[in-house]
Amino acid sequence: TALVWASPAEQCEDTVVPKLKNNVHAVIGIALPFIGVHDTSACENILNAEDLTPAPCPLEANKEYIYSNAFFVHEWYPEVSLTVEWSLVNGDDIVICFKIPAVIYKKNETKKKLVASAKGLGTASSYYGSYDFESLQDRVVVEPCGKKKCKLPKGQNITVTLKFKTNAVMKTLTNDVSAIIIAGVPLPFLGVHDTSACANIINAEDRTPAPCPLEAGKEYIYSNAVFVEDWYPETDLRVRWGLNDGHTKVICFEIPSAIVKKKPKKTA
Q: Which of 3-7, 56-60, 159-163, 185-189 has the lowest mean pLDDT?
A: 3-7
Which of 2-11, 93-102, 134-143, 240-249 is predicted least confidently?
Answer: 2-11
CATH of the domain at 94: 2.60.40.770
Q: Which of 207, 222, 136 is nearest to 176 (CA)?
A: 222
What's 164-202 look like in SS3?
EECCCCECCCEEEEEEECCCCCEEECCCCCCCECHHHEE
What is the distance between the alpha carbons of residues 215 and 213, in angstroms, rounded to a whole number? 7
Domain assignment of residue 31, given as a range: 3-103
Question: For the segment 223-262, what is each residue's pLDDT rounded down to a tens digit?
Answer: 988 888 888 888 888 888 888 887 777 888 888 888 898 8
12 pLDDT band, cuts 50/70/90, is very low
CB atoms inside a 10 Å sphere around CB 187:
14
84 lies in a domain?
A: yes
User: Do 242 and 140 belong to one domain?
Assistant: yes
What's the pLDDT band for 182 if we cut at 50, 70, 90? low
Q: What H or E segment, with its residue span, contains residue 213?
A: none
The answer to whether residue 173 is domain-embedded is yes
Average pLDDT, integer, range 118-130: 38
Inside any domain, residue 120: no
Same domain, 137 and 254: yes
Same domain, 162 and 247: yes
Q: What pLDDT score does 46 carry?
A: 86
Do 156 and 252 lie in one domain? The reply is: yes
Q: Is residue 122 part of a domain?
A: no
- Beta partners for 152? 259
Q: How far apart are CA 33 and CA 54, in angstroms?
A: 27
Full-model pTM: 0.51
User: Is-contact 45 69, C-beta < 8 A?
Assistant: yes
Count the domains in the chain: 2
pLDDT of residue 9: 33
Domain membership of residue 265 (yes or no) is no
* Integer Cα distance of 153 and 173 in angstroms: 28
50, part of any domain = yes
More confident residue, 112 or 264: 264
Same domain, 28 and 142: no
Question: Can you say whether the dihedral through the CA atoms of 205, 117, 78, 196 is positive or negative?
Answer: positive
Mean pLDDT computed over 49-55:
82
Res. 133: pLDDT tops 70: no
The mean per-residue pLDDT over the stretch 211-218 comes to: 91
pLDDT of residue 110 exceeding 60: no
Asked, for residue 116, whether it belongs to a domain, the answer is no
State how far the Cα of 9 lies from the Cα of 24, in Å rounded to an integer: 21
pLDDT at 138: 66
Whether residue 123 is contained in a domain is answered as no
Residues 143 and 213 both lie in one domain: yes
What is the distance between the alpha carbons of residues 36 and 55, in angstroms, rounded to a whole number? 22
Task: Answer yes or no: are the C-beta atoms of 110 and 55 closer than 8 Å.
Answer: no
- Strands (DSSP E) contained in the chain are 3-6, 21-28, 30-33, 46-48, 65-67, 81-90, 93-103, 140-143, 150-153, 157-165, 174-180, 186-188, 201-203, 219-227, 236-245, 248-260
Co-location of 91 and 155 in the same domain: no
- In angstroms, how far is the first alpha carbon of the chain from the final one? 42
